[in-house]
Amino acid sequence: MHRLEAIILGGVAVVMLLVSPAFAHHGNAAYQEKVVTVKGIVTEWKWINPHSFLKFDAKDEQGNVVHWIGEWNAPSTLINFGITAKSFKVGDSITVTMRSVAKGGTNVGRVDKVITPDGQELSMGNER
């Protein structure tokens, strides 16, 4: 292999290593398109980057507690729709609608909207 070819090949390899995490970040392979609405109680509201997480407990058909995690957008996006770090408190009774849920059967989904205890609807206006 010539020196120039080796340099080019090495440069391409470095670029691929640097950009591949960016492509992997927004993959949908783990989710299936399925709208699910769950009533529950907030256990944690993680206002963090790159995604916020709303954790809540609900009951299944047998009355067993089921732990859910709702993935939402970054705080910098949510704030533009009136959703803040103080939008949810532990113990709040909420209704969460998710547009995609985990394929593997875990109780994880992507949040579309949340109805708060006072009846306010929090969303980014993209629910289907």
Domains of the chain (ranges plus CATH)? 31-123 (2.40.50.140)
* Residue pLDDT, tens place only, 61-88: 999 999 999 999 999 999 999 999 999 9
pLDDT of residue 87: 96
- Per residue in 1-56, pLDDT (tens digit) is 667 665 666 555 555 555 444 444 556 778 889 999 999 999 999 999 999 999 99
Max Cα-Cα span within the chain:
70
Complete DSSP assignment for 32-88: EEEEEEEEEEEEEEE--SS-EEEEEEEE-TTS-EEEEEEEE--HHHHGGGT--TTS-
Q: 122 with 116: CB under 8 angstroms?
A: yes
| Helix (DSSP H) and strand (DSSP E) numbers for the chain | 2, 6
pLDDT for residue 24: 47
Average pLDDT over residues 94-106: 92
Task: Count how many residues are written for the chain.
Answer: 128
Q: Are strands 65-72 and 52-59 parallel, antiparallel or unpaired?
A: antiparallel
pLDDT of residue 78: 97
Distance CA 24, CA 120 (A): 34
